[in-house]
Structure 1
């Protein structure tokens, strides 16, 4: 019995579920700073974030096209490739749910890419067709961004607090907060747009890969219908709002004012745009926003960062590739007799 059609349906359902989960969690990163400083009310923040995440996903297919070209030639065809995708989506999704429950912001991008590598390694060990270029995929999509994104986001936000403060040096504290809240509301929309450009594009690429692997379409650019489905799933997840992580980002890691929140979100949004439109590199929205918030909040005349909690979050960032590789490998081994 050919189980490929069934596996294809399961993979599409899991991809859409992963997109909803992604939006559910990453809505926190887009709106946490704005909600913390009362630049936006929570209900308004998630609606605005959902809208701009939708727009960002529909705006371009640049990153999606690059991801498809990187993975399509490396992904096994037919049932073997479909089981690899299913194992990766299940492993990454389970880890994200666990971290959300604990209020820990981790990267959905790194979770999925690492899980693909783990499932591919298990297939190779079994003697099946494996994921080609796994080392390059892991290095370029997980390891380098993990090492570089937090550093750039932290130091850029830390340093940009200085000119931002200098420009408002003659204003009253009331005016500074009012202008910063207005800027922060705009910056929150910018981060949500970056979420669509990054995570929404990745969702569209994953759906396309599932259809190609299942033999339902030929390799090529992402169809508008697929973009629409990906944008809708991501935006629906954003509307649900993952408030556990919002609390961690806005209350437990660092104390910051509207000016520093504006700087942090501006830096994070810029990094997401450059990664998607210029470098064609999948960057973690979570890591960009979290590191920017900590960096901007650290540049204050008093100690405002709860460093042991920051270290705990960073430890989970390092743990994410390890856990997802191992979990996906175990699932791929367990699924091997099926089909």
Structure 2
């Protein structure tokens, strides 16, 4: 029975990874598509390829998810431990689908972390609140602030540097440069988000008694990388419209700056701090930062407010869904 549950959990985890791909495809390419630097299909293909590459570049974030949020070894049995992981994955998937339906760029990362936290609380096992504070809450607050601030000042610097340049030439050059910045953003997305699914699969393998420690087997890396790439290629048009056009009308220079800043934040947090930050929060705040250089009113703050509400609700909402799912599944198959 445990082996069957492990297979089910892995399948649902890869399903979450797939929804993460189409939910967060907009993170990497919305600005490039909206500025016409890339066609939608070319942008999706490029994003899928670089998501795959990024997913293979590290395991730091996977270790945080796999062993840092809850202590699965405290489960009363292997069976119950697997039910906990399955409930967390389902909770994250449900929240992803809800926010995707409404076109809100919420965080798949925080949905998963919130779901794990909710399951841990519902099951009465240890939740590592200090890790959640240091590697989730603090980065959740700081990464959008840093993204907005860096994007604003870098955009101001570029405007000053090119103030006397030919606008058409500048636009054409930044449209080309956006190909590179979008690829960098997709790489960062794979580096961050695919690793979270790797961590969940390892959590399931440990709960099922099939793996020790928090090392990531190669097949887990390949499976997670492939799932997120396929999801990315399937597209995320609802959220893409929100990020690419509804927050602010972007030009190639602003799109380039937003993507470059967001990618830099993703690399730094993954490699230096092992922190699972939200690619959604980072790119959205960077888009707002470059938009604010036009004028404050250029940013549609009403749309930004709706996005912020989704950010705030993500962790508790996903936690609640996952806790309810745990109680239900524990009663049925526990």
Shorter-chain TM-score range? over 0.9
Q: Which runs of 5+ in 2 are unaligned?
A: none
Against the structure 1 CA distance between its residues 219 and 72, is the aligned structure 2 distance closer, same or farther, given a 3 Å change threshold?
farther
Residues in 2 aligned to 1:216 and 1:7: alpha-carbon distance in whole angstroms: 12
Partner of 2:191: 197
Q: Report Cα offsets for 1:277-315 as digits up to 9, x if no partner.
A: 111111101110111111111111473111111001101
Do the aligned residues in 1 keep the contact of 2:70 with 2:120 (CA within 8 Å)? no
| TM-score normalised by L of structure 1 | 0.93
Among residues 314, 319, 326, which one is paired with 2:313 in the alignment? Answer: 319
Task: Report SS of the residue matched to 2:37.
Answer: coil
1:11 equivalenced with 2:9 (yes/no): yes
**Equivalent residues in 2 for 1:164-179, closer than 5 Å:** 164-179=158-173
Residues 254 and 305, structure 1, Cα contact 8 Å, conserved in 2: yes
Q: 2:23 aligns with which of 8, 25, 33?
A: 25
Aligned partner of 1:287 among 271, 281, 290:
281
Distance 2:293 2:73 in 1: 45
Q: Which moved more, 1:12-21 or 1:166-175?
A: 166-175
State how 1:97-176 maps to structure 2 within 5 Å: 97-124=97-124, 130=125, 132-176=126-170
CA distance in 1: counterparts of 2:69 and 2:306, whole angstroms: 32
Aligned residues: CA RMSD: 1.6
Separation in 2 of the partners of 1:25 and 1:197?
16
Q: Please tell me whether the aligned partners of residues 50 and 186 of structure 2 are also in contact (alpha carbons under 8 angstroms).
A: yes
Cα 1:65–1:329, aligned 2, differ >3 Å: closer, same or farther? closer
1:57 aligns with 2:52: no
| Residue 74 of structure 1: how far off its partner (Å) | 4.9
Q: Relative to 1, partners in 2 of residues 1:66 and 1:138: Cα closer, same or farther, differing over 3 Å?
A: closer
Cα offset for 1:226? 1.3
Matching residue of 1:183:
177
Asked if the contact 1:114–1:138 (Cα under 8 Å) also holds between the matched residues in 2, the reply is: no
- Corresponding pairs, count: 331
1:255 to 1:332, Cα distance in 2 relative to 1, 3 A: same
Tell me the residue number matched to 1:210: 204
User: Which one of 272, 282, 286 corresponds to residue 278 of structure 1?
Assistant: 272
Give the TM-score of the pair, scaled to structure 2: 0.95
Match of 1:43 among 41, 44, 50: 41
Q: Is the 8 A contact 1:107 1:286 kept in 2?
A: yes
